[in-house]
Amino acid sequence: MASRSRWSWPGNWSLDPQPLFGGAFFLSCLGYFSVNTRYYKVGKKPEYRHRRCIVPATFFVESQDGKNPHLLEPADGRAIAFGGIYKEWTDKVTGEIVYSASIITLPGIKPLENIHRKSVPMWLPEEAYEKWLSPEVTNTYELDYLLEPALRCDLKATLVDKTYSKKPISNPYILSSAS
């Protein structure tokens, strides 16, 4: 089943509407909030046993400490399937059912050490999709091999001016998955 989801991971928190200019509101979190889930914490989350998802992407942006962001995309143009977990919760302001997804991050790897040495998103191999999404797989030991960081194909890396604008400021270069 495909579904839209917010890329965020609420902890034990509640939503607190905060006024902005022009009468608009934003929702602030009164507690822990994240967009990624570290590999060493994922085993403690019940969602890892029961609510795994695939977060599709055509690229991602990484930087170390917010410096020198790089746009990373498969050199062959294919899509990426990041491994994630999801939660269902009720927005306390609107009463709407909301889905939030979090990408699992793994330890850094050699090909990306000059871009982001601390971590890499969990990148699922195509042959793992069915098992990853299966509600029958509740023994997560069957999934441990996916917690090994790896590039699933060569990446085209382009230095960009800012993470959000993604304006290239250098020529792209290839990061080999064979490294």
**CA 165 from chain center: how many Å?**
19
152, HSE (Cβ side, Cα atoms, 13 Å): 20
Number of residues that make up the chain: 179
Give the CA radius of gyration of the chain.
18
Evaluate whether 161 touches 113 at the Cβ level (below 8 Å). Answer: no
In the chain, what percentage of residues exceed pLDDT 90?
A: 47
> Who contacts 143 (Cβ-Cβ below 8 Å, separation ≥6)?
131, 132, 137
How does residue 170 score in pLDDT terms, banded at 50, 70 and 90?
confident
Q: What is the pLDDT of residues 90-148, one digit of tens each?
A: 888 888 888 888 999 999 999 999 999 999 999 999 999 999 999 999 999 999 999 99
Evaluate whether 60 touches 52 at the Cβ level (below 8 Å). Answer: no
Q: What is the pTM of this model?
A: 0.79
Beta strands in 91-179 (DSSP E): 97-107, 119-121, 155-159, 173-175
Please give the full DSSP string across 23-45, using - where no structure is assigned: G-EEEEESS-EESEEEHHHHTT-
Q: What is the pLDDT of residues 26-73, one digit of tens each?
A: 343 444 446 788 999 998 889 999 999 999 999 999 998 888 999 999
Dihedral (Cα; 44, 46, 47, 49), 10-degree rounding: 90
Report whether pLDDT(81) > 70.
yes
Q: Residue 88 has what pLDDT?
A: 85
Q: Which among 60, 40, 64 has a CA at the least distance from the CA of 118? A: 64
Amino acid at 91: D
